Structure 1
Amino acid sequence: MEELVRPGRNRGWLLRLVIAFGFAQGAVSMARPAVSYRALALGADERAIGVIAGVYALLPLFAAVPLGRRTDHGRCAPLLPVGVVLISGGCVLSGVAGSLWTMALWSGVMGFGHLCFVIGSQSIVARQSAPHEQDRNFGHFTIGASLGQLVGPIAAGALIGGADMAAGSALALFVAGVGCAVAFTSLWRIEHRDAGPGFRTDTGERVPVGRILHARGVPVGILVSLSVLSATDILTAYLPVVGEHRGIAPSVIGVLLSVRAAASIACRLVLTPLLRVLGRTVLLTVTCLLAALLCAAIALPVPVPGLALILALLGFCLGVGQPLSMTTVVQAAPDGARSTALALRLTGNRLGQVAAPAAAGLVAGVAGVAAPFVMLGVLLLVSSGVAVRSHADAEAAAPRRRSGSGLRRSSDV
């Protein structure tokens, strides 16, 4: 444990993990809009786009908890190369698919690969970070995701922007698959054998899922994460559809998606001072509320510069939710169930990724392509309200928590 707390020592694993996550997430962020454009070229409508986006999350929805259980009782690192192989294969095979059904299938493979990579990498961060380092290290870890989300859409837009959308999207998916494979170069010696106490059990005893879900802070972390990821996911899948209806070129849509990702990076770089001023729960509450209003604003017929400003502000607000929900869940979970708790958080994410795109497809088919963003605004508004409630509960429990642990004050948890 002393090794984890000591600043500046053995930081190489985190940098390599950020680099690997950047390539893996970049491939996924490049592939998701490319899949949407290829599906449009094959004759898909808004409902079909929603179904394909939902299938991406369907298999992970059932696999997350078993993978988390396995990780709680074993090593995390083997999941990373498995994830890279599945993401790369799903990207390339989506590019050669000739029907919407096969595209949906390979999209599901891609989603399962992403789940393997994320469970393994998040568990490594939780296991190899002291409690007081977790906000910072999860924030740095998610910078890798934001870097991938920054580069991926720009690359996809540049490759798809030609006259032949089907060929351009297929090329983008092939490039995404090759790019993901580069992550292999950063996966060496990424997991320490002495990962610290409390993050691993060898007794075979399993903490019941119900006990994990009833731990104070876990449901809030899951809901906030679900809302934030659903917003990011629908932005990635449906902004190309909005662009088609408003006459915005794919290359411009790629830049707009990257503006959002760049704002999330900026947010995570200043996350520590923001936490010092506001505390974790207040920061989550405020950013979810602002993100709700900004998501609804996308439905307005604003010009491209106005849309860029909305997405920049939205990206900054959404950048808070993922790292802080990880820390909230990890610190609230019972000993020996941290990876399972993170997997439950990912299960909530994937549930949102299944339900939100499907609901978005139905809403878009009935009320227009901008309507899903209003739906996202409502979801984020609910998350903001739940975070306020959790803040009140944490304040009531503050004396007990202060006497029972050495973590930061309970209003921040």
Structure 2
Amino acid sequence: MRRLPTVALFGHAVLTQVVTFVLRPTASYRALELDVPASWLGALSACFALVPLVLALPAGHVVDRVGERRVLVAGSVLMAGAAAVFAFLDGGLPGLLAGSVLLGTAHLCCVVGQQALVANAASGRGLDSAFGYYTFAASLGQLLGPLLIPVFGGGGSIPDTGPIFLGTFLVGTLLVVFAAPLPSSRTGRERAAGGSVGLGPLLRLPGLARALTTSCVVIAAVDISLVYLPALGAERDLSAGLVSALLALRAAASMVSRVLLGKLSAALGRTRLLVGSVAMAAVGLACCALPVPVWALVAAVVVAGLGLGVGQPLTMSWLAESAPPGARGRAMSLRLTGNRAGQVVVPAAVGAVAAGLGAAGVLGLTAVTLAWTGYLARRLSVD
């Protein structure tokens, strides 16, 4: 891929996550402003997450048929439109729900289009580096997004949501600018041929179930750490500043492992790296669950972060390389569907089993789940 499209793609990936990670928490703040019952906050989250579960596979099919650029442009317009719904339509709770649905649809189009473009623009071992850099850009956007909330809305316990929505709408319009120079990786004839490939060849890929299981457990572990590290801090009387630093360290460590993914994969091999990274994440979270001093907790979080950063891009690159020609959009959307299902099922199951054991019990059980996943991944040939 040439320099301008590459810069545009990674800029688009950063902005997609920035807008998403500003709008989602700000929608919750607006709901609190409106005195919406706490039970409806879950509905806001579900409206965003439900769309990828239902539409991910059709979206991947569309990418393979019409090309990545059209889907990315459509997703960018929808993303700006979602911000506009939040900013300009004072529809109360129905408006928030509608905006969340639109945001989930936009995010799906952008992410599937981005991942398919990366998959089709690289090949072989270059896929590892390409997806490492891509997921680094996405992580950077997730890190920067929440920082814009106090910039636009002030530092109160409930920020002024109006300026945040308006500022995010302006940022969202930049997505269309970044989408303009993005190419489609395939010709019209190749897209037509790819559109005839069904899901069957994908579902018959050797090791697909193990790869999707590894991917969804790793991303569920990330979500669990985001929720239960603050709860662990509250149980152990750690300051909010220290907990925030731990979460930032976890994210930064994952970003480091993603930047180095190509070199690590070349040195260790994909299978060894995948199994080792899942084992690192398991050890790190298990140590977090133990009554360790603060310095050891910091080290454990860094180890967990380094391990959790590898699973997503490595399974992306394996799936992209294994997918039949012309079906990489559907391959990426199939992985996304599995991830979203895992984000719903795994935390609920872990929380139910570890009920009464506190945050440490949940983190410990998550470590056991990761260890078992890593054991199963030993038989996954991704080299």
Please tell me the TM-score bracket, short chain as reference: 0.7 to 0.9
What is the rounded CA distance, in whole Å, between the counterparts of 1:48 and 1:307 in structure 2?
34
* CA separation of 1:196 and 1:89: change in aligned 2, threshold 3 A: closer
One-letter amino acid of the structure 2 residue matched with residue 150 of structure 1: L
Q: Which residue of 2 aligns with 1:385?
A: 375
Percent pairwise identity: 34
Contact 2:194 2:325 (8 Å CA) reproduced: no
> What does residue range 209-224 of structure 1 map to in structure 2 within 5 Å?
209-224=199-214
One-letter amino acid of the structure 2 residue matched with residue 121 of structure 1: Q
Determine whether 1:331 maps to 2:321.
Answer: yes
* Counterpart secondary structure, 1:191: coil
Q: Which residue of 2 aligns with 1:120?
A: 113
Can you list the C-alpha shifts for 1:75-101, whole angstroms capped at 9, x where unaligned? 1112223333444554675687855x8
* CA separation of 1:32 and 1:80: change in aligned 2, threshold 3 A: same
One-letter amino acid of the structure 1 residue matched with residue 112 of structure 2: I
- What are structure 2's unaligned runs of at least 5 residues? none
Corresponding residue to 1:310 among 300, 314, 318: 300
* CA separation of 1:260 and 1:168: change in aligned 2, threshold 3 A: farther
**Displacement of 1:296:** 3.9
One-letter amino acid of the structure 2 residue matched with residue 148 of structure 1: G
Determine whether 1:206 maps to 2:206.
Answer: no
What is the rounded CA distance, in whole Å, between the counterparts of 1:205 and 1:149 in structure 2?
32
**Displacement of 1:106:** 3.8
Q: Which residue of 1 aligns with 2:182?
A: 190
Determine whether 1:144 maps to 2:144.
Answer: no
Structure 1 stretch displaced more, 185-194 or 136-145: 185-194
Can you list the C-alpha shifts for 1:276-312, whole angstroms capped at 9, x where unaligned? 2210011011111221232344445667665544333
What is the rounded CA distance, in whole Å, between the counterparts of 1:382 and 1:145 in structure 2?
27
What is the rounded CA distance, in whole Å, between the counterparts of 2:68 and 2:268 in structure 1?
33
Determine whether 1:14 maps to 2:14.
Answer: no
**Displacement of 1:351:** 1.1
Determine whether 1:75 maps to 2:79.
Answer: no
Can you list the C-alpha shifts for 1:124-149, whole angstroms capped at 9, x where unaligned? 11122233421121112112112112
One-letter amino acid of the structure 2 residue matched with residue 167 of structure 1: P
Can you list the C-alpha shifts for 1:24-82, whole angstroms capped at 9, x where unaligned? 1123234455556666785876x876665444321111101111111112211122233
* CA separation of 1:245 and 1:81: change in aligned 2, threshold 3 A: farther
What is the rounded CA distance, in whole Å, between the counterparts of 1:302 and 1:97 in structure 2?
49
* CA separation of 1:148 and 1:258: change in aligned 2, threshold 3 A: farther
Structure 1 stretch displaced more, 84-93 or 271-280: 84-93
Q: Which residue of 2 aligns with 1:272?
A: 262
One-letter amino acid of the structure 2 residue matched with residue 151 of structure 1: L
Contact 1:140 1:268 (8 Å CA) reproduced: yes
One-letter amino acid of the structure 1 residue matched with residue 363 of structure 2: F
What is the rounded CA distance, in whole Å, between the counterparts of 1:97 and 1:293 in structure 2?
47
One-letter amino acid of the structure 1 residue matched with residue 65 of structure 2: H
**Displacement of 1:171:** 5.7
Contact 2:194 2:327 (8 Å CA) reproduced: no
- What are structure 1's unaligned runs of at least 5 residues? 5-9, 395-411
* CA separation of 1:159 and 1:12: change in aligned 2, threshold 3 A: closer
What is the rounded CA distance, in whole Å, between the counterparts of 1:267 and 1:181 in structure 2?
31
In the superposition, the TM-score normalised over structure 2's length comes to: 0.82
One-letter amino acid of the structure 2 residue matched with residue 128 of structure 1: A
What is the rounded CA distance, in whole Å, between the counterparts of 2:359 and 2:92 in structure 1?
25
What is the rounded CA distance, in whole Å, between the counterparts of 1:330 and 1:111 in structure 2?
24
One-letter amino acid of the structure 1 residue matched with residue 257 of structure 2: C
Q: Which residue of 2 aligns with 1:321?
A: 311
* CA separation of 1:314 and 1:196: change in aligned 2, threshold 3 A: farther
Structure 1 stretch displaced more, 319-328 or 146-155: 146-155
Q: Which residue of 2 aligns with 1:59?
A: 51
Q: Which residue of 1 aligns with 2:248?
A: 258
Contact 1:288 1:318 (8 Å CA) reproduced: yes
In the superposition, the TM-score normalised over structure 1's length comes to: 0.77
Q: How many equivalent residue pairs?
A: 380
Over the aligned positions, Cα root-mean-square deviation in angstroms equals 3.7
> What does residue range 164-175 of structure 1 map to in structure 2 within 5 Å?
164-167=156-159, 175=167
Contact 2:77 2:176 (8 Å CA) reproduced: no
Corresponding residue to 1:135 among 124, 128, 131: 128
* Counterpart secondary structure, 1:165: coil
Contact 1:49 1:361 (8 Å CA) reproduced: no
